[in-house]
Amino acid sequence: RAESEQQQQQQQYLKKGESPILHRANPVQKTSVVSLFRFASSLSMESTRSPTHVAQHPNVKNLNHFGRHMAFCPTNKGGRHLTAEQLEPYRQIGDPHLDDLLGFMEEEGYPLKPQDDLLSPQQPYPQHIQSRIDEFVQYYSDYPDWVDQEQLERGQTVFLRYAGGISASLYHRSLVGGLSVPKIAKVLTTTAYLAPPSTTQQVGHRLEDTVALLASCTGFGVKHLLPNGDAWKTALYVRILHAKVRRQLLKREGPRGRAMDRDWDTEEYGVPINQEDMATTLLAFSIYALEGLEYVAGKPASQQEQEDYIALWRYLGWVMGVYTSHEDSAACAAVPSLTSSSSSSFSSLPRSLDPCGPGWYEEYPNPIMHARSISDSVWLHLVHPDETSTSIAHHLLRSGRGNSCPYQQKLEKKKQGSVSEANKPLESYDFYLRAQHCRDMIGGPLADALDLPHHPNPCTRLLIQIHGSMIWWGLRLFTWSGGLPFLKNGKHRLLVNTIQTFYSKWKRSHFTRMAKQIGKRENQVVAKERVCPFAFLAQP
């Protein structure tokens, strides 16, 4: 009888041409008490499980890709997912609005050099060029109707409340896990950004730059996010940096006139830093980070908190060039300056990915499910780790403190043959600890594909597991403390002060470092005041 009722329900969905995924009212599952006091597998968290009636729907394919389970239902069958064929065209679209502006400047004899500051140029541009720049800036000075300032502020509060868990997730899950995308890793290796031959110190500086972007967007209130605010400017500078990288790679010639990669193939890799890549990065900072938070906290954030945090990143993505709606892309395509083939191909697409938006169906808006569906879609399309992914992941895990290998040094002092060669570590203790944390967050299948090693010595391996568990429990307790009334306000003030202090120190050191690098390139002393905050100087 139960099977008969279920079949009738499925037939009703089929008659409507809709998937039951659309009718799932609350995507946040209830949390069992037991899960709060244990660390469940990151591959089977409660909020990522699909209800039985969804998984058994005939339009749904139950897939498993590197341990990530998903009930896949494409849009042409009433679902929210996109197939590889539907996603591939987005790889040929960069940032038409900004790309065409930089192309126009180059045609007029005023190309934007890697170290130039578009928003605050050292020398004034001719009026016809400056008017085009002003047109671009003005477009992003009037935020869309869907932006809710109160929701942006709530999104900032979500980050501050769960800062420990989200930060751990961003590093161990989003960043290292994101390196398993060879097409994105190709940009990193070509520019030596976070990849060999950059030094661990350079990797550390670039990670600090990313943290600074996050700090400016979350630690200074909503006014800094709005047009002409510090966070808004930082997001625009990051967007301009991406455009510089895109142009340099497409020219196949890098800084200092050196050939960067004469085999760049847009058919294979797509346009560098394209719409799918940017959508993937935005999801890594939003829904993927929220999934990692669930692992740390033992329960998912509330539905309202997730929607607020995703809305924050939707706005930031819009500023950084992730097209958010059909109206937005149509408006960009209507700008007279956008006449290149890239903009025309963009306007011919049926919709923008808008990965943090409400989704394809106006009658069923659901940003959480839309973000998860796009995340699943790009996961299937892009996550295929190769040797480059492994190399970058290991290079990243070697950055930071504990780069030396004291255990290896101690072993070398011992007599030859006193220790088994198989038990000698090839990396530092901290490297193996970070690798274990990544395993915990991304799951064994993907960790194995990235060749994240266990410590070869069984005793040290056990010590690392105990050490790692203590760190996770510390983060869980710290995360829980944000919900305690007598600790919440104090924790909030502490985090805001810490973030603002870090950002102030970063600005001083960052501008000094950038001035030295630009001065070295131009063979002259450059004042900090003349520095573009995000100049393209990634290649060592």
- Give the span between the Cα atoms of 180 and 157, in whole angstroms: 30
Domain annotation covers residue 491: no
Name the token pair of 141. 């000075």
Q: How confident is the model at residue 354 (pLDDT cuts 50, 70, 90)?
A: very high
- Looking at per-residue confidence, does 417 or 61 come out higher? 61
Any domain includes 500: no
Chain mean pLDDT for the chain: 81
Q: Assign 467 a pLDDT band (cuts: 50, 70, 90).
A: very high
Radius of gyration, CA atoms only, the chain: 24
**Residue 235 reports pLDDT greater than 70:** yes
Q: Has residue 517 been placed in a domain?
A: no
Contact 404, 208 (CB under 8 A): no
Give a yes or no: residue 516 inside a domain. no
pLDDT at 412: 40
Closest CA to 176 of 399, 352, 27: 399
- Assess if residue 533 is contained within a domain: no
Q: Does residue 424 carry a pLDDT above 90?
A: no
> Region 60-89: what's the mean pLDDT?
91
- 536 backbone φψ class: left, alpha, beta (φ>0; ψ -120 to 50): beta
For 74, phi and psi rounded to 5 degrees? Answer: -70, 165
Query: pLDDT per residue over 144-197, tens digit each?
Result: 999 999 999 999 999 999 999 999 999 999 998 887 889 998 888 888 777 777
Within 10 Å of residue 529's Cβ, how many Cβ atoms? 9
Average pLDDT over residues 1-10: 48
Most confident of 3-12, 120-129, 372-381: 372-381
Q: Give 345's Cβ-side CA count (13 Å radius).
A: 16
Does some domain include residue 101? yes
Residue predicted with more confidence, 286 or 342: 286
DSSP single-letter state for residue 302? P
* pLDDT over 60 at 266, yes or no: yes
* Residue 260 in this model has a pLDDT that exceeds 70: no
pTM: 0.86
What's the pLDDT score for residue 39?
A: 72
Judged against a pLDDT cut of 70, whether residue 416 lies above it is answered with no
For residue 451, what are the domain limits? 1-485
143 phi, psi to nearest 5 deg: -75, 155
287-342 pLDDT, tens per residue? 999 999 999 999 899 999 999 999 999 999 999 999 987 555 555 554 444 444 44
> What pLDDT band is residue 526 in, cutting at 50, 70 and 90?
low
Q: Is the pLDDT of residue 262 over 80?
A: no
pLDDT at 273: 94
Enter the DSSP assignment of 67: T
Q: How many CB atoms lie within 10 A of CB 447?
A: 25
166 located within any domain? yes
Total domains in the chain come to 1
> For residues 82 and 79, what is the distance between their CA atoms, to the nearest angstrom?
9
Assigned domain for 537 exists: no
Question: For residues 210 and 207, what is the distance between their CA atoms, to the nearest angstrom?
Answer: 5
